[in-house]
Amino acid sequence: MKILITYSSKTGNTEKIAQAIHKGIPTANLLPISEIVNLDYDLIFVGGWIDRATFDQTALTLAKQIFDKNVAYFFTLGAYPHSEHAKDCVNNIETLLKNNNNNILGGYFCQGAIDPKLISWLSTLPSDHKMSPNEERKKRWEDAKSHPDQLDLDKATEFSLDIISKHK
């Protein structure tokens, strides 16, 4: 069985998750999206970071090109994994993949450290802006700094093993 684990990563968070998935499936090809030559695989794990409640542009472009495949997805986001925002991300990514007649075997996501440049920019927003820093948001940013942690990585490896067991 030919398996691809591919990802887009801006800060290294999603790459760490991809590597943890690969740890569970060492025979799979592990490639950044930019290095993919074709999609001739029996199972594709596609991952990205979250931008506006869906995959970042690189992962989104690839996901739109995957048709009629067995797929699993993974992502990192600055929000808490149990948040409404995370649920929206799952829904948007699954809808995209289902619309291309893919068989979704599962998804994994966890919090990831936020790009310091983004935090710097958000910190310049006026206090009445919906994305301006408030105490709750600053706490989440601080919490995100430690992710993905070892537990997140271990769960990603377990996720890969679960997907493989479903695909047999």
CATH code of residue 66: 3.40.50.360
Share of the chain above pLDDT 70, in %: 99
Task: Describe the strand order of the beta sheet including 43-49 as a list of residue ranges.
Answer: 29-32, 3-7, 43-49, 70-77, 103-111
By the 8 A CB rule, do 112 and 144 touch?
A: yes
- How many domains are there within the chain? 2
pTM above 0.95, yes or no: no
More confident residue, 167 or 153: 153
Say whether both 67 and 134 belong to one domain.
Answer: no
Say whether both 48 and 68 belong to one domain.
Answer: yes
How far apart CA 126 and CA 65 sit, in angstroms, is 39
By the 8 A CB rule, do 33 and 66 touch?
A: no
Domain housing 132: 115-146
Say whether both 124 and 42 belong to one domain.
Answer: no
Say whether both 125 and 108 belong to one domain.
Answer: no
More confident residue, 141 or 22: 22
Say whether both 29 and 98 belong to one domain.
Answer: yes
Say whether both 78 and 100 belong to one domain.
Answer: yes
Say whether both 129 and 163 belong to one domain.
Answer: no
